[in-house]
Amino acid sequence: MTDASRTERPAGRRRPRQSDIARVAGVSQAAVSLILRGTPSGMALAKETRQRVLDAAEELGYVPDPVATRLASARNAMLGLYTFSTTFPTDVAHSYYPILAGVEEEAGAQGQDLILFTGSARAAARADDPAAVRRVRVADGCLFFGRHVPEEPIRRLAEDGFPFVYIGRRDEPGIPYVGADYVSASADVVARLAAAGHRELRYLREHDQAPASDDRQEGVLRGARAAGMDTAGLVARTDGGDLDTLLRRWLDEGVTGVVVEQTDTGAALAGLGAAVDRAGLRCPQDLSLAVLGAATGTRGRAPGGGAAFSGFDVPMREMGRDAVRLLLELIAGAPGGATRRLLPCEPVEGGTVAAPRSAKKNT
Amino acid sequence: MTDASRTERPAGRRRPRQSDIARVAGVSQAAVSLILRGTPSGMALAKETRQRVLDAAEELGYVPDPVATRLASARNAMLGLYTFSTTFPTDVAHSYYPILAGVEEEAGAQGQDLILFTGSARAAARADDPAAVRRVRVADGCLFFGRHVPEEPIRRLAEDGFPFVYIGRRDEPGIPYVGADYVSASADVVARLAAAGHRELRYLREHDQAPASDDRQEGVLRGARAAGMDTAGLVARTDGGDLDTLLRRWLDEGVTGVVVEQTDTGAALAGLGAAVDRAGLRCPQDLSLAVLGAATGTRGRAPGGGAAFSGFDVPMREMGRDAVRLLLELIAGAPGGATRRLLPCEPVEGGTVAAPRSAKKNT
DNA sequence: CTGAAAGCGCTTACAG
DNA sequence: CTGAAAGCGCTTACAG
């Protein structure tokens, strides 16, 4: 490739590189590399020479090429963030925004730039295309997240020893992650409903499978058993038919409280909320409603009222921050603590849980 | 660096590369590249040879190294996004989120990855440090945004012919941008207030200077003049003293409608809203209120009621998308259209503007 | 203490 | 139609 063919740059001036600095400073290109990187050998050079190189670099506005840096097998101080869902959903309310915020914050604090791998190059739907995932290699390491994550392309990265961290718990053994302790938090929500006097509850979860949903369900079951409730028929999925019908049946069965999971799509909560509205019910007067996992700042309002949902918050921002820290430890080759971490969720009092009608007298 | 030191690969087997395929297939490494990339020259090779290479690649499980690929091509398919404000404010409501969303969306659609330059590496406060800005050169081009933008470091980039685009209108000649047409949109808001019967209006703007604020003010003045209103004393700034006092004075002066600008900080609107609340006023019954530039999805609720603000929406998402398109054209060296673009703002009916009390009879 | 050389894994003009 | 060579911009052993 001739130099001319590369110069498609509008104004024509190409980026300065080490050899340019070398020419100006009158040293070899390799010396420039040594000096700029501040290596021991670089520092050992004559002070006067070093200064000349440093000055030239400054004057030319030199910035190292991260791709070349990485190919030559060093670090480039870039962390990747790869999402298997829409990174920026149109509906702000149900986004991963807080996670991004946390990742960005910590990356900045650690002097790392962030590369957003925005799904697949051509089709967002093919974000799990192995070739698409491979792109993350330009970074020193990568963060992954999304409700559903393809295992194959990630396994390859793992085999190759490429450092990465999941945001969200994973089942696959050995894979580093920073997740939320949904089990404990969900059990706690049920315990609070039981303490308020509820004996007949139902749990509505999304119809698809994901670690985050499985954990919530386990927590709900655990909480119900701890409260001495019957767990048969406790769990329902959004695909269990018409939600209006379901809700009516529950009321007929004497249900006084419903627990629903809030995920990235928010489908379960939105569907149930609409059904509650259509039934003309108010929360918590007619029905107590608890939500598992709304994120701070993105929580919606309860149907038939303006109260904040009762439940717990997912520490998304903190998950993002901690994932960056863990990734950096992995890149450095020295994980300081556990490589699989579960962060506690903050209970939220909210205003959609109260004592059931029939139990209003006490508790 | 010895090969051994590179082999941190757990399983030990290093990734196959083109030269491995070449050896197996009995061709040159360059031929492998040609064939695998499916270039014209590659396709022109003997069918039999091509198949041998393809088979070998398949058998070895070859996947191209994206780092090397990018280094060898002129472009690295990375776009920068540099913010001179907090990229991810904690308060989601007043964030640039929709712009980010648009940028991410279009970048993904165009097969570009996004590098988030999170202010300065060490101190967010020094985001306007020239050295910090220089880092953007690692990308093929860069998007800039923020209410206040330092001119010096950018000028330097322009001199060097580095492709970049501002999100938001700029005064500096020649600088490419994608902004919003605040002038027209603001004039239109005043026109609507006038059409509703308002004759005595006030405009409250932020105290600091920025193109976005200047444009709104110009639009307001233009709209007022078009409606035959007196523009003396029309404009007030948030630093014009206590807002409660200001509001009381306005009411004494017979003001029936207030226009306020909504910027990233949201200070003017928040302050005025609070003052209106404290004065016990309801919108639009006691006072009409129009907001210049709330972004879709991040708009707040009017004081003394739950109505959405009347005014206009800033097409943030579309600005983000269009800025990416323009940047890509600049990088390719062939801007298809204007390099300075103003996008129209969508009028928002809202519920905070009504006929003034004294004019309730008609209009 | 300093410099020249090889190499990272690709792409692409260019010569047979 | 095919192959060998140079180059992308760095890092890092290695030889003077």
Q: How far apart are CA A241 and CA A254, in angstroms?
A: 20
Inter-residue contact B289 to B352 (CB < 8 Å): yes
User: Mapping DSSP to helix (H, G, I), strand (E, B) and coil, where does residue A62 land?
Assistant: coil
Which candidate from B98, B135, B158 shows the least CB-CB separation from A63?
B135
Task: Say if the Cβ atoms of B70 and A66 lie within 8 Å.
Answer: no
Q: Which of B64, B105, B70 is nearest to A130 (CA)?
A: B64
Task: Say if the Cβ atoms of B297 and A9 lie within 8 Å.
Answer: no
Peptide bond into B284 cis (omega under 30): yes
A6 near B CB under 8 A: yes
**Does domain A3-64 fall into CATH 1.10.260.40?**
yes
| CATH for the B78-180+317-343 domain, from 1.10.10.10, 3.30.479.30, 3.90.1570.10, 3.40.50.2300 | 3.40.50.2300
Distance A235 CA to D9 C1' (A): 59
Kindly report the CA angle at B128 between B124 and B133, in degrees rounded to 5?
Answer: 100
Task: Please report the residues numbered 118 through 157 in chain B whose beta carbons come closer than 8 angstroms to any beta carbon of chain A.
Answer: 118-119, 121-122, 124, 134-135, 137-138, 156
For the record, the structure tokens of B143 come out as 């998007």
B3-72 architecture in CATH? Orthogonal Bundle (1.10)
Domain(s) labelled CATH 3.40.50.2300 in chain A stretch across: 78-180+317-343, 182-314+346-359
**CB neighbours of B193 closer than 8 A, spacing ≥ 6?**
B201, B257, B259, B288, B290, B353
Distance A123 CA to C2 C1' (A): 52
Question: DSSP readout, B76-103?
Answer: --EEEEEESS-SS-S-GGGSSHHHHHHH
pLDDT along chain A (363 residues), means of 10: 35 74 89 87 78 90 86 85 66 65 89 79 49 84 86 83 93 93 98 96 91 95 96 89 92 95 81 91 92 62 68 94 96 87 94 80 42
Inter-residue contact A117 to A136 (CB < 8 Å): yes
pLDDT along chain B (363 residues), means of 10: 36 73 88 86 78 88 83 85 65 65 89 78 48 80 84 80 91 92 97 96 91 94 96 88 91 95 81 91 92 62 67 93 95 85 94 79 42
| pLDDT score for A334 | 80
| pLDDT score for B128 | 52
Fold of A182-314+346-359: Rossmann fold (3.40.50)
Query: Where would I find the H helices in A137-283?
Result: 152-159, 182-195, 211-226, 243-252, 267-278
Which candidate from B70, B76, B333 shows the least CB-CB separation from A10?
B333
Q: Which nucleotides of C are covered by protein (CB under 7 A)?
A: 1-14
Q: Which residues of A touch B122 (CB under 8 A)?
A: 111
Peptide bond into B10 cis (omega under 30): no
Q: Which residue of B has its CA nearest to A6?
A: B74
* Cα dist from A53 to A250, A327, B136, whole Å: 76, 34, 22
- Tell me chain B's radius of gyration from C-alpha atoms: 28
Task: Say if the Cβ atoms of B70 and A113 lie within 8 Å.
Answer: no
Inter-residue contact A294 to A311 (CB < 8 Å): yes
| pLDDT score for B10 | 39
Which candidate from B88, B113, B298 shows the least CB-CB separation from A116?
B113
Q: How far apart are CA A146 and CA A123, in angstroms?
A: 17
Report the share of chain B in percent with pLDDT over 90.
Answer: 40
- Residue A300 buriedness (CB in 10 A; 0-12 / 13-18 / 19+): middle
Q: How far apart are CA A122 and CA B112, in angstroms?
A: 9
Q: How far apart are CA A94 and CA A92, in angstroms?
A: 6
B29-37 vs B18-25: helix axis angle to the nearest 10? Answer: 100
B58 near A CB under 8 A: no
Task: Note the pLDDT tens digit of each residue in B146-205.
Answer: 877 777 778 878 887 889 999 999 998 889 999 999 999 999 999 999 999 999 999 999
Task: Say if the Cβ atoms of A61 and B11 lie within 8 Å.
Answer: no
- Strand stretches in B196-256, DSSP E: 201-205, 235-237
* Cα dist from A263 to A182, A314, B263, whole Å: 12, 10, 31
Q: How far apart are CA A251 and CA A226, in angstroms?
A: 23
Q: Which residues of A touch B65 (CB under 8 A)?
A: 71, 137
B361 near A CB under 8 A: no
| pLDDT score for A302 | 59
Which candidate from B11, B70, B91 shows the least CB-CB separation from A67?
B70
**CB neighbours of A219 closer than 8 A, spacing ≥ 6?**
A182, A183, A184, A185, A186, A187, A188, A189, A190, A292
B4 near A CB under 8 A: no
Q: How far apart are CA A122 and CA A250, in angstroms?
A: 46
Query: Where would I find the H helices in A72-181?
Result: 97-109, 130-134, 152-159
DSSP state of B11: T
Nucleotide nearest to B46 (CA to C1'): D1
